Chain A
């Protein structure tokens, strides 16, 4: 166990690594996992209590085919390459992945002209199987729940779906299993380039020394670079509202349907997630960094957008609204910003990873590692690197015999905690003790789905709090929802005889 959790005592002695990745979102985790195959002492520093807790967690989870990015951009290249790598990535890392295909829907001649351009883009980007359909019947044959008003569509059979935090967590855990150290609750507060060429990186709890830095700090990648005196680009935040519907919302197994984008927005996509909920995402408005508020305007746009494309959706069945921000590198043609710093040797930017960051991740990791190699980072393959990661048992997916077996092995699997998603105490305990540990209610939710159902943790939150408290050896009032400061409980109602006497 090398993961350092918040509760560990302060240690001011220097931790020394060859390379430090700052940021444990999908990009940081994918790069860490790719680097874990080499003899390189690697650490990842993450400011949040969990991996995937920034942009990665509030995201449509689409593995886009790659028809949208402008031809010739790095984004277009990594999107299409990443998409093709996903089958194998999912097989090795054990996360759920499904090739659903998707359609961009058009209604009139103006839309058709856009779709023709998109088809051309797709061909230039090398998107396999892309097809322009001019026949409503064919559109409805591919997705019967699409609106019958649809006249034209671009169909890309290679579009897929993942649960984005599942991918990041699997990549992280596989990296940890192969020797990478993750430091959670560790915001970087200072970076100093020493005379010998090494970097000294400070966090509130520890100080690190390393030779190379990969800056994958998402919305704050530019701010982190500025800590080291590197001022080469700006990140601006493109905010998106999202909403999740009940599993019973009139629509089942909906293929992702995109509208024609307007100049302001890529448009509202509707799809059924791997867990069976309809997800509608996302609006696009530039806002302040770290503004993950939901906006009433955005929620209305989502509902309008989804009903325009999807037939039979009961829009009253919303169970959650949320929002995320995509990191956009300013004045960069909407492209990723992945390059070595021009002013600081051994500093590598992995920034501006807006959509399709999830789709690109496996290709991005290979691209970054190649960039590191070309810039002198010594990469010698390990003999015993194990690319295989296995997700722990999902009780609700097991056969009756499998469920019975699991209960026999551990009675905790016979105790249902989350009744909406059928999550057992056994699964929650297992999630808490994975490496890195799940130490918050949201971290448990991301790994087990406890609290993701229609009651939104109304029944199970108190149980999850008590299990976290017991397993981590902390008081219930020290259990957090997510980041530092997100306390749930403030202490006992009845302190007992002592407190009462004090007042009297």
Chain B
């Protein structure tokens, strides 16, 4: 077994696969570490179509999307370590020979691998009942939508028969259709916000096709049952999202699915001392997807939650090629942060723009700025300012929180900017 590589990629989902492929293509010696016993990540349980329209120019299911990347990887000499869990990363230092030290375990033992560059691609996890503090009893029958998806699509097990779904995120909508097709009953989807959170196509194809009602501005205010869910209480909420007394309704059911958001899973990143962005729960990165720790890169849902796997692939390919460049050229040719060459810009977001990725860009390179709005905007104009000076203004159009946007800001517009710019939005009537 080899113990040192140019690039080690952690995670074998769409981000890790894409990053490994690109790093390999750039001439790096690559290993990919995956904790499950097969590659593909969460795509393996996303058996529905809707993937690949952008990247493969063809509508694929999740497993098909993954299989294409897996087949490409199989044709390379990238080392793949399956069923292997990374416990920690010790960043490169003089003492450890300028290699990041990755500790991992699998059935055969505990190992430490060295890497010139590391790509973090561990994906995300689902928000839970605890995080939104749903009152009521602690019975069985409350599942995150992704766990239910795993049971149904991978393990051939039914998590219940009569379902209420809280949250109109895409996984919840997709599950509503899956459950209906497999003969389980979906009584309704309830959404706290006054608008749906998932892609419009999913509202249409997953709810309307099956006559499943979507209740906006409504949330679950109590889980009822002695040992297993027997019912849930739902209530309308006011404009401050507080339940309105007197609007409670009890819905008998045996299962509550939660589709209430995703959170980047940065446990391993923390061990390396990677600085996180509270707005995304992902790493703070520059325009090469390098984190605050030199030589450690981050991409995909561990960086910020994407709605399309295609965007993950594009981002991860860039991270993979930058990681390879870092490893092969022995460091950053033009780092975007921490260096006082005067070419670095810090990017911040102003409401209704919720966040931007990356956080650090350079004046001498075009910047692709990814962002998401916090609430739907009918007629929004994207405005980029350096102090009070406007350096970019977009065209008026609609923006939705469910869709991640990308704006390319050319280097020539950045050349005159100060060391901070703000991405904001003006609303036209």
Contacts and interface: CB of A to CB of B under 8 A. Distances in A.
Interface of A: 243-244, 248, 292-296, 299, 318-323, 400, 403-404, 407-408, 411-412, 414-416, 419-420, 422, 454-459, 461-462, 466, 476-477, 480-494
Contacts of B227: 481-487
| 8 nearest CB pairs, A to B | A485-B227, A481-B140, A320-B130, A411-B107, A486-B227, A416-B85, A486-B140, A414-B107
A318 B107 contact: no
A491 B125 contact: no
B110 A400 contact: yes
Interface string B126-149: 101111011111111100101100
B130 A493 contact: no
Contact of A420 (B35, B107, B156, B267): B267
B73 interface: no
B243 to A, nearest CB: 8
Interface in B58-115: 83, 85, 87, 103, 105-110
Interface in B171-197: 182
B294 interface: no
A490 B151 CA distance: 11
A493 B156 contact: yes
A482 B158 CA distance: 18
A490 B161 contact: yes
A477 B157 contact: yes
Contacts of A476: 155, 157
B272 interface: no
Contact of A487 (B105, B140, B156): B140
25 contacts: A248-B270, A294-B135, A296-B133, A318-B130, A318-B133, A321-B135, A400-B110, A404-B110, A407-B107, A412-B107, A414-B107, A414-B108, A455-B128, A456-B129, A456-B130, A458-B125, A482-B227, A484-B227, A485-B227, A487-B140, A489-B157, A491-B158, A492-B156, A492-B157, A493-B182
A296 B139 contact: no
B150 interface: yes
B128 A458 contact: yes
B157 A493 contact: yes
A322 B138 contact: yes
A56 B228 CA distance: 21
A420 to B, nearest CB: 7
A407 B105 contact: yes
Interface residues of B, number: 49
B103 A407 contact: no
A280 to B, nearest CB: 12
A3 to B, nearest CB: 22
Given A404-B110, A415-B83, A492-B158, A293 B105 contact: no
B159 A490 contact: yes
B317 to A, nearest CB: 26
Nearest to B224: A293
Given A292-B138, A293-B137, A462-B151, A419 B109 contact: no
A486 B140 CA distance: 5
Given A411-B107, A456-B129, A459-B125, A482 B140 contact: yes
Dominant SS among interface residues on chain B: mixed
A391 B390 CA distance: 64
A411 B130 CA distance: 33
A457 B35 CA distance: 16
A454 B270 CA distance: 14
A299 B135 contact: yes
A455 B128 CA distance: 7
A493 B158 contact: yes
Nearest to B254: A490
A320 B138 CA distance: 10
A457 B125 CA distance: 11
A414 B158 CA distance: 29
A408 B106 CA distance: 11
A493 B156 CA distance: 5
Given A319-B130, A456-B128, A486-B140, 13 more contacts: A296-B135, A319-B131, A404-B109, A407-B109, A414-B108, A415-B107, A454-B128, A455-B125, A458-B126, A462-B151, A482-B140, A486-B139, A487-B227
B135 A488 contact: no
B226 A419 contact: no
Interface in B216-233: 221-222, 226-228
A491 B158 CA distance: 5
B147 A458 contact: yes
Contacts of A292: 137-138
Nearest to B128: A456
B44 to A, nearest CB: 13
B391 interface: no
Contacts of A493: 152, 156-158, 182
Contacts of A416: 35, 85, 105
B418 interface: no
Contacts of A490: 158-161
Contacts of B135: 293-296, 299, 321
